[in-house]
Amino acid sequence: MQATQFLITTIFDLYLMVVLLRIWMQMARADFYNPVSQFVVKATNPVIVPLRRIIPGFAGLDMAGILLAFIVGFAKFAVLQLMFGNGFPAGQLAIVSLISIFKEAFNLIFWVMVIRAILSWISQGYNPIEALLHQLTEPLLAPIRKFIPPMGGLDLSMLIFLIGMQFFQFLLQDILRSFF
């Protein structure tokens, strides 16, 4: 049973990350002709395009993508609940799904930042993955650079962002523990 749970969780989480990456790419106005972007678009278009006919965007947000992220998160926990016979409390599943989406968004941002940092050390010339990561992370790092500019060729903005993100994640966990 544990192997089945791992497989289901992994498949749903990977697709959730792809959906969240699409939402992030749209918010950052990343190049959709980048080969990595094309993968994300092709992986999510079969579901998002029909949803967009029903649900329009709002204030620059892709509401169809956000709904798809919620559906994927909800479906993951619904499938797990149905497989292991623990009932189907829809309200609790909705709350757990939202928490899971935020957790996966934090994980996605963290790993994109770490991969960008590693690529910046070893990259030699143009790389489409590095270009996309730069487009995604630069809007998050630029405000930090206004307060702490690079010193002696060393850019601390990514380190400060990751520390701040970890602090925010721990803060959210403490708040959620106090409610539940």
φ, ψ of residue 148 to 5 degrees: the values are -130, 90
User: Token digits for 165?
Assistant: 């993100």
pTM of the model: 0.88
Burial of 152 (0-12, 13-18, 19+ CB in 10 A): exposed
Residues 32 and 22: beta-carbon distance below 8 Å: no
User: Token digits for 152?
Assistant: 């002696």
Nearest residue to 137 via CA among 155, 151, 153: 155
- Rounded Cα–Cα distance for residues 113 and 102 (Å): 17
One digit per residue, the tens of pLDDT, for the chain of length 180 reads 788 889 999 999 999 999 999 999 999 988 888 898 999 999 999 999 888 888 887 877 888 899 999 999 999 988 888 887 776 677 888 888 888 899 999 999 999 999 988 888 887 777 888 889 999 999 999 999 898 888 877 778 888 999 999 999 888 888 877 766
- Rounded Cα–Cα distance for residues 57 and 37 (Å): 20
Who's near 89: CB < 8 A, 6+ residues apart?
A: 81
Query: The tokens 């799904």 sit on which residue?
Result: 97
User: Token digits for 49?
Assistant: 């395009």
- Rounded Cα–Cα distance for residues 25 and 63 (Å): 14
